[in-house]
Amino acid sequence: MSTPPLIEAHNLAVRYPNGELALHNVSFTINSPSFMAIIGPNGSGKSTLVKAALGLIKPAQGSIKVLGYDSVKQVSKIRKLVRYVPQRDRIELAVPMKVKDIVLMGRLLKKLPPRFASSRDTEIAKEALRQVNMESLWNHPFPELSGGQRQRVLVARALAGEGSILVLDEPLAGTDVESQDLIVDALGRYHRENDVSIIMITHDLNPIHTMVQDVLLLKNTVIGIGEPCSIMEPELIKKVYGPTAKIVEHSGHRYCLTRDSGFDRHD
């Protein structure tokens, strides 16, 4: 039996209770396994698409499936498969959690209570931190970290978890270049070495375009889908980012220059 697509949408529309139509006529298929990127400017519906896929928002119309499971009718199946790093994590910084507590959550949250970390859980959590070069801060208070370091810990929490799909919503936003490189490298390595698909939202494709297989370009509907080079076309990019957007080539790679990202890759 062939594997069902990683993610598949048919005529999907999502409307927020205030009437805002965040997505309309969204139809696409991405095969499994993949390291894929969802790109598009702010407000283009990237987070909304992922939330619909995870069953956090109900479609107004159409359907969306993850590995063949329907995001409305089979949410619990999808939750078991997916490790999700939301755009803004709700970790309360007033609570004096340590780095290890955050990463171990990735091991413990899907266990039944009482939840205790085994020595294997600890080993896996430490290895995940090593992947993002944070292992020396195991006992460090999480709230004292820089934005980029916190993001690395949240990525490590996802790496430490289980489930065949990792979904990360803007993991590079608000991070320094060193953290961006560490996160991108860790995700690429993890995808290569494990049977795991990665769905990464970013409003800037540049840091990851050499690593991803599939790109979905959104502006409230699908503007483009394909391998990174086919998306990095001036016509497509201008359609989404406006007439000043440019594609430049350097050392055999295409880079996208937009007012949204420029070369400073932050929000």
Site for Mg ion, rule CB under 5 A: 46-47, 87
Contacts of 232 (CB under 8 A, 6+ apart): 205, 209, 247, 254, 255, 256
Element containing residue 35 per DSSP (H, E): strand 35-39
Helices within the chain (DSSP H only) = 46-53, 75-81, 99-108, 119-131, 147-160, 177-193, 228-231, 234-241
Judged by beta carbon distances under 5 to 8 A according to partner kind, the member of ligand ADP, Mg ion, none in contact with residue 133 is none
Write down the least CB distance from residue 170 to Mg ion, Å: 6
Q: Which is nearer to ligand ADP, 48 or 179 (CB)?
A: 48
Gyration radius from the chain CA atoms:
18
42 counts as binding ligand ADP under rule CB under 6 A: yes
HSE, side-chain direction, 13 A CA sphere, residue 3 = 14
258 interacts with ligand ADP by CB under 6 A = no
Q: How far is CA 250 from CA 9, 206, 247, 253, 254, in A?
A: 35, 12, 10, 5, 6
Distance in Å, CB of 43 to Mg ion, minimum: 8
> Measured from the CB atom, is 6 or 49 closer to ligand ADP?
49
Applying CB under 6 A, which of residues 46, 83, 107, 209 lies at the interface with ligand ADP?
A: 46
The rounded distance, in Å, linking the Cα atoms of 226 and 215 is 5
- Interface with ligand ADP includes 18 (CB under 6 A)? yes
The partner residues of 36 in beta bridges, in order of sequence, read 199, 214
- Of these, 22, 78, 99, 153, which contacts ligand ADP (CB under 6 A)? 22
Of 35-43, 140-148, 231-239, 253-261, the window that binds ligand ADP (rule: CB under 6 A) is: 35-43
In this structure, the strands spanning 214-218 and 35-39 are parallel
202 binds ligand ADP (CB under 6 A): no
Judged by beta carbon, residue 65 or residue 203, the one nearer ligand ADP is 203
Among 32, 34, 44, 71, binds ligand ADP (CB under 6 A): 44
Among 26, 34, 37, 48, binds ligand ADP (CB under 6 A): 48
**Terminal alpha carbon distance of the chain:** 43
Residues near ligand ADP, by CB under 6 A: 16, 18, 20, 22, 40, 42-48
